[in-house]
Structure formats: C-alpha cells, structure tokens
Amino acid sequence: MATEVRITFLGGLGQIGRNCATIETDDELLILDCGQMFGDETLPGVDAILPDFTYIVERADKLVGCIATHSHEDHIGGFPYLLRDLGDRKPVPIWGSKFTLGMIQGKLSEAGIPSRADLVEVDDGERVKIGSFGVEFLPVTHSTPSGLISSITTPQGVVLHSSDFKLDHTPIDGRRTDLARIGALSGDPGIRLLLADSTNADSPGMSESESSIRKGINDIFEDHAEKRLIISAFSSHIHRVQQIADEAVRTDRVVFPLGRSMKRNLQLARDVGILTLPDRNVADIERLDDYPDDRVCIVATGSQGEPRAALSQMASGDSKFLELGDNDVVVFSSHPIPGNEAAVGRLRNALARKGASIVHSGNVHIHTTGHGKQGELQTLHAVASPEWFAPVHGEYVHLVAHAELGRSMGVPAERVILCEDGDQLVLTDNKIYSQRVTDGGKVYVDGSIGHLTQDVIDDRLTLGENGFLAIDAIIDWDRRELIGSPKLVSRGWLDDASATELLAEGTKVAEDAILAGLADPEAAFGDIERLTRRAVGRWVSDRTRRRPMLAPMLRSISG
C-alpha cells in the first residue's frame, strides 16, 4: 500500500488571486505557489489579502520547499509574508525560473528578509528532487515570461499542475506550452490527478495570440506620431512591454519606465535576456524633459486604477515627473480586472479632464488574455487524459464551468472533484476524496499596522457606511447615580448642528437605559454599558434605518 498524499488548497479556489496549495505526505510538505490579492474600496486600508498560513506554520518541520510557477503577484506576492510567519529557521528553498526568482528576490529585499529563502533556478524540461517528490518543469505560455507547468511525482502517482495556462502558437518569445511532453506523461506513467487553470473556463473558443495585438500597437504609434505616448501595462507583462519597445525603437522613441515595479521589472527582464531594448532607446524618467514629445514613450504602471500607481498620480496632478496636457495620449493596454471596472472608469475620466486623449482595448485591439479559453482547456484535457481532475484558479463560477468541461472530455463524473479554499484532496491507492480541513480564511494586511482581523475590517466598513455614535456619561458608582445628562456625539451619521431635536430624543433614551440599570442592584457596570448600547441601537435603527458604530463611554467616579 502506497503512502497517502494530501493536497490542501489555502487560496485561489473561489476568487481570482491568493493562489496557494500544499502537497504533503506524513513526513514532507511541498508548497505550490504563494500569492496575494489586493484590497479595493470595499476593504478600507487593506494593502494585501493573503492565505491563512497557519496550516503551513503548524507543519513547518515537514517543509521541504516551494514551487513558484510564474511571476504574477497572485502566485508569488505572499512569499515575504509566509517567510516572516515561518520565522528564523534555515532558508526555505524556492524553485522557479530565473525571471520569477528575480521577482521574488526583489520582494524579499524590499521586505528586508532576502536571506530567508534559498532560490533555486530551474530550466525548461529540468527534473529535480524536492524532498522525495520528483518534479519536472515544463514551459507554459502565459502573460508573463518563463511560466512553468509542474509534473509532480508523488507516492500516489503524477499530479500535473497547469499553472496559469494558454496555448499560443505564435508567442512573442517563441516559447510554447509543451503539450508533447504532457502527452508523453499521460501514457507512462499516466497522470493521476490534473489541477488546471479555470479562469476562462466559461469563455468559448480560443484565446488570441499575444502577437495578434502588434498591429494595434503599431496603429497607436502611427496615429499619434506627434504626441507624447503614455502606455500603461502590468509591469510583469514583459511580452506586452517588448512589443511596445519594438515600436518605440522602430519610430525612434525613447522608453521611460515609470513606477517602481515597472522600472525594476524592465531592468530585470533585460538583465536575464528576455527583453530586447537597446540602451539608446531607454532612459530614466528624470531625463524626460530632455526629449521632445514625439520621441517619448512612457511605460507606466496603474492600468487597474491602483490609487498609488503612476497613472493615478498623473490623474491627480501629483506626479513629480510630468504634467498631463492636450498633447498626451494615455493608452490602457489591458482590460479591467473583474471588479476594477468602476475604478478604471474614474481614472480614465480624471486623465481626460487633464486634457489627455484616452485609448483603450475597447477602441483599439491592444489586449488579449493570458488564460486559455474552452477550446484550449479541451486540448489540455485531451492530451493529459487524467484519471482524476480538480479545477483550480478562478472564481466559483469558473470552477463549475471547468468541472463540466472536464466531464464532457471523458473524465467520469465521480472523478471530477470541485473544491474550495480550505478543502483537502486525499489521494489513496483506490480513490481520491475531499474533506474540509481549514476555514479557507483570508488574512488582511494594512502596511502600516500589520495583520488585521475580520472584526477590524467590519468596523472600518461600518464606520465608512454608517458613521459613529458615542454615548458619553458620568456615573457616581458608590451612590449608583447618574451625574448630569448623557451626551451623544456623532461623526458621519448625523450633522449634529441640524439634528438637535433628534439627538435630544436619543439622549433621553440613553438616560432612561442608564437609570434602569442603576436601579437594578444586581447590575454590574458592564451590564449597564450593554443595556445602554442595546437601547440606543434599537432607537437609532427605528428612527434612521442606519446602524452607526455605537461606543458607550460610561465613566465611573467615586462619591
């Protein structure tokens, strides 16, 4: 009887981002990606959303290493936080491609913990041993360079993890997804379990090649030859940046990277040889004023409306490098991520108010997805021919669509397992089954404070939506008497100056509640606080249909 293998999903199943899973036996644990999500207007003050690493930390003595499949934040952004949580111990081995590891190294250096990881570079097709797990790394096409499919040999057979995946027959770097090797694995020894990207599982057809947008980029440079070009892109999308750089070189423009991550990643890509850009066609943004508008091509971060990114600083007039005007063309080279549409719309309007012309994927063909659609997923399933299948990476609707696609491709319905964060797949000799082992919870990070609980997030949302109401009162506890009248003070709930009558009514409710509590000789001080909170809360809800945060501030003095 072979050793049981367990795969635990800590993030990435039910939302886009926060991808993290573990593969373990009784003695060893291997981490598969460690990503994050970013906060938005629904999570005030939240900079990052992480998996709950408690499951890993409690099993840290079994940890043999990590696999980083590619360089996107939703797959590697959590590494600095994980390594901090693991504390001072021997460096944690992380396997990945040269570019991906360069991105991780930059993050660890920024976090001040570069020595906590042992970064192990692997090449396409390389086979390594991570503990007792055999891992073969296969090239995969995606919207960032050097992504890797992982074929992991376990005591219960081969687990194939697709990483973020598409089929691109004409990729910018010529590096195609290795379907031939996947086909070979399906024959001998066979693929016991397929874990595959579900992001576009509900989208019919095939994704377009990244090279298909070259004409759109060319048209932008031709149509705005006299203008200053500001093109936004994900800083990790080096293939997109390469096409922009090619047009800049062709039209004798100079590329100015703007935004810390854009500057760092562009230089890293040049250093590792996956971005071709002559020195004469790239310059530091501080030299911007040395060039006329028709020779400028700024490549900037902020295409998703991120509040502190370069585009947002331009829109608010806070950029220290340039001021927008009517000779500027701002290009959004990517679709808004689902959920970011409103933020991107506000950003475009703000940029237009500065006089800039706006170009986006709705009026020029300048974006294509990095995730395979149904046709590509069907090809993957046909080639892999897995014994069992679990969809990963996507919102729940994507996982459901991919599960149905898997069944349509011949995987028996009972061997398609739909999981969510917190679920664990158990691989045994005779079957694979799922069980719940954690709550799949999220950890919120405020950069200035650290980790936040859900209670703090709920309080911030309440304050933002409904405001705050304090109940200030002084009690002589020895005599069990109320001194004077309570005072109600609100912020973000009512305008106190125009609500005198309503506040007076609320003050009476608070006073009656306090006096009722004091009249009960068995009531402790905390009981009176709770009685007051409940009474004022009911009154607020009945009178205003709002629920501000209530803060009884009852103070006790001695006779």
pLDDT band at 504 (very low <50, low <70, confident <90, very high): confident
Whether residue 457 is contained in a domain is answered as: no
Q: Which residue has the higher pLDDT, 537 or 124?
A: 124
Burial class from Cβ neighbours inside 10 Å (0-12, 13-18, 19+) for residue 369 reads middle
pLDDT at 466: 76
Last residue in a domain, options 331, 359, 387: 359
Across residues 419-441, what is the average pLDDT?
Answer: 95
Whether residue 462 is contained in a domain is answered as: no
Last residue in a domain, options 328, 359, 390: 359
d(Cα 162, Cα 182) in Å, to the nearest integer?
10
- One-letter amino acid for residue 126 of the chain: E
- Let me know whether 343 and 378 are in one domain: no
Is the pLDDT score of 492 beyond 80?
A: no
Q: Which of 228-232, 278-282, 332-336 has the lowest average pLDDT?
A: 332-336
Across residues 257-274, what is the average pLDDT?
Answer: 94
In the chain the first and final C-alpha atoms are separated, in Å, by 78
Q: Are 53 and 80 in contact (CB under 8 A)?
A: no
In the block, residue with structure tokens 């922009």: 244
Angle between helices 374-384 and 179-187 (to 10 degrees): 40
Across residues 130-146, what is the average pLDDT?
Answer: 96
The domain that holds 306 is classified in CATH as 3.40.50.10710
pLDDT band at 454 (very low <50, low <70, confident <90, very high): confident
Whether residue 508 is contained in a domain is answered as: yes
Is the pLDDT score of 496 beyond 70?
A: no
Whether residue 458 is contained in a domain is answered as: no
d(Cα 222, Cα 325) in Å, to the nearest integer?
20
Q: Which of 219-228, 422-431, 457-466 has the lowest average pLDDT?
A: 457-466
Is the pLDDT score of 558 beyond 70?
A: no
- Let me know whether 385 and 488 are in one domain: no
- Let me know whether 307 and 349 are in one domain: yes
- Let me know whether 189 and 237 are in one domain: no
pLDDT band at 448 (very low <50, low <70, confident <90, very high): low
Closest CA to 144 of 258, 269, 20: 269
- Let me know whether 99 and 158 are in one domain: yes
Last residue in a domain, options 316, 335, 359: 359
Is the pLDDT score of 15 beyond 80?
A: yes
Whether residue 459 is contained in a domain is answered as: no
d(Cα 10, Cα 55) in Å, to the nearest integer?
8
Q: Which residue has the higher pLDDT, 484 or 324?
A: 324
pLDDT in tens, 94-120: 999 999 999 999 999 988 999 999 999
With a CB cutoff of 8 Å and minimum separation 6, the contacts of 355 are 324, 325, 326, 328
Is the pLDDT score of 452 beyond 80?
A: no
Q: What are phi and psi of 553, to 5 degrees?
A: -115, 70
**How far is Cα of residue 326 from the mean position of the Cα atoms in its chain?**
34
pLDDT in tens, 297-312: 999 998 888 877 889 9
- Let me know whether 118 and 254 are in one domain: no
Q: Are 514 and 482 in contact (CB under 8 A)?
A: yes
Whether residue 510 is contained in a domain is answered as: yes
The domain that holds 536 is classified in CATH as 3.10.20.580
pLDDT at 517: 85
The domain that holds 101 is classified in CATH as 3.60.15.10
Whether residue 364 is contained in a domain is answered as: no
Is the pLDDT score of 469 beyond 90?
A: no
- Let me know whether 63 and 193 are in one domain: yes
pLDDT at 40: 65
pLDDT band at 38 (very low <50, low <70, confident <90, very high): confident
- Let me know whether 421 and 538 are in one domain: no
d(Cα 540, Cα 543) in Å, to the nearest integer?
5
Query: What pTM, to 2 d.p., does this model score?
Result: 0.85
Is the pLDDT score of 463 beyond 80?
A: no
Residue range(s) defining the domain that contains residue 247: 210-359
The count of structural domains within the chain is: 3
pLDDT band at 52 (very low <50, low <70, confident <90, very high): very high
Peptide bond into 189 cis (omega under 30): yes
- Let me know whether 514 and 400 are in one domain: no
Is the pLDDT score of 337 beyond 80?
A: no
Q: Which residue has the higher pLDDT, 487 or 257?
A: 257
- Let me know whether 350 and 480 are in one domain: no
Across residues 360-380, what is the average pLDDT?
Answer: 93
- Let me know whether 240 and 305 are in one domain: yes
- Let me know whether 41 and 190 are in one domain: yes
d(Cα 169, Cα 172) in Å, to the nearest integer?
10
Q: Which of 50-64, 183-197, 373-387, 517-531 has the lowest average pLDDT?
A: 517-531
Whether residue 448 is contained in a domain is answered as: yes
pLDDT in tens, 539-557: 888 887 778 888 888 888 7
% residues pLDDT > 70 (the chain):
95
Q: What are phi and psi of 106, to 5 degrees?
A: -60, -40
